[in-house]
Amino acid sequence: MMDLKRDFANRDELIAYLRDEFAEAAAVDDHVSETRGGRAAAEAQLAKLGKGKDYEASRNYVHGPVSRLSAYIRHGVLSLAEVRDAAVAKERLSEDAEKFVNELAWRDYWQRVYAEIGDGIWDDREPYKTGWDRERYADQLPDDITAGDTGLPCIDAFVRALYETGYLHHHVRMWLAAYVVHWRRVKWQAGARWFLSHLIDGDPASNNLSWQWVASTFSAKPYVFNRENLEKYTEGEYCKECPLYGRCDFEGSYERQQRRLFPNADPSVFGGEDRRSFGRGRGRGRR
C-alpha cells in the first residue's frame, strides 16, 4: 500500500485530496467540520476554558460556556488529566471546578466500563424500564429522521447540525436521543450507530452508554424532556416562530410525557421525582 500524502499548501488542498482518497465517505456526505484537528488547535481551545462556576450555571444552555474540547479528548490529543489540571489551575478553590471535572469523570467512567465489558457496550446493559419490551422498538431509524424531515423544526435543525458540523451540544444530544428512542420507539443501537458515524468526538463508550442512559437500559428510568425545557435551554431559538407551538409532540408536563410515552411502565420508576431530576447532574461528559 502507498503512503498517503502529508504535504499540503492549505486546508482546501488537504480536503480536495481527501475527497479523492476517501471518495466513498465523501459520496455519502462531504461536509467538513469547522473544528480543526491537531494539538495546536486543541491547545488554542483549551486556552479559552472559562471559570468553573460560569460553566456550572449555564452549561445546559445550548449557547452556554461549554469547553468544545470533546473531539480532542476523544482522540487523545488532550488527556483528561491535563484538561482537569488546566480547569483546576484557573480556580482559587479547586471545588469551583468540580462540576466541570465531574463531567470529565463521566468520560473516564465510560472508558473504564468499556475496558471491562468491551463489545458489551452494544448490548442492553439492563432491560428497558419503559414498560415496552425491546422487541417493540424498531431496528432502524425512520427515513424522515435521517433526512431531517420530521416536520419538527427543532429536531430537523439538530439533524442538520449533526451532518454539517459533526458536533451537538450535550443537551441537544439528549433531546435527539430521547426523541429517537422514546417518541419514535427505535432501538438505541440504531441511534448510537448514527451518532458515531457523524460526531467528530464520536467515541463508542461515551456514545453508546449515554444512549443507554437515555433509553433506560443503563439507568433507573428513561430520560424525557418537554417543550418548556427545550425552549428554555435553546432560549426560544426554535420555539419562537414554530408553527407547531402549543401543539407539538413535546407539549405538557413531564408527568404527561411519561403517561403518554410509557403507559405500561411500572409507576415506581418515576415515583416521587420531579422534572428537575432530568436536566440536572446528568450530563455525560459531552461538551
Partner 1 sequence: MTLERTVVWVHRDDLSPLSPALVSHPDAPAIFVFDDELLREWKISFKRIVFIYECLLELPVTIRRGDSVSEVTDFAAKHGSNRIVTSSSPSPRHAQIVSQIAQRSEGRLSVDIIERTPFVHAPRKLDLRRFTYYWNAVKDNVLGS
Binding residues (CB under 8 A) for partner 1: these are 1-4, 6, 8, 14-15, 18-19, 21-22, 24-26, 28-33, 35-41, 71, 75-82, 84, 88, 94-95, 97-98, 101-102, 104-106, 108-109, 111-116, 118-119, 165-166, 193, 196-200, 202, 204-205
Position 102, amino acid: N
Can you read off the three cell numbers belonging to residue 228? 418548556
Integer CA distances (angstroms), 132 to 208, 212, 225, 263, 266, in order? 20, 15, 19, 9, 10
Residue 192 CB, shortest distance to partner 1, in Å, is: 11
Residue 80 CB, shortest distance to partner 1, in Å, is: 4
Is the CB of 57 or the CB of 89 nearer to partner 1? Answer: 89
Is the CB of 128 or the CB of 167 nearer to partner 1? Answer: 167
Contacting residues for 138 by C-beta, under 8 A, at least 6 apart = 184, 185, 186, 187, 190
Residue 108 CB, shortest distance to partner 1, in Å, is: 4
Residue 126 CB, shortest distance to partner 1, in Å, is: 10
Residue 28 CB, shortest distance to partner 1, in Å, is: 7
Q: Is residue 201 within 8 Å of residue 74, measured between CB atoms? A: yes
Is the CB of 36 or the CB of 48 nearer to partner 1? Answer: 36
Contacting residues for 285 by C-beta, under 8 A, at least 6 apart = 70, 103, 104, 105, 106, 107, 108, 109, 110, 206
Q: Is residue 128 within 8 Å of residue 217, measured between CB atoms? A: yes
Residue 284 CB, shortest distance to partner 1, in Å, is: 9
Is the CB of 26 or the CB of 242 nearer to partner 1? Answer: 26
At 186, give phi and psi (nearest 5°). Answer: -115, 140
DSSP state of 6: -
Is the CB of 91 or the CB of 237 nearer to partner 1? Answer: 91
Is the CB of 97 or the CB of 230 nearer to partner 1? Answer: 97
Q: How far apart are CA 168 and CA 200, in angstroms?
A: 10
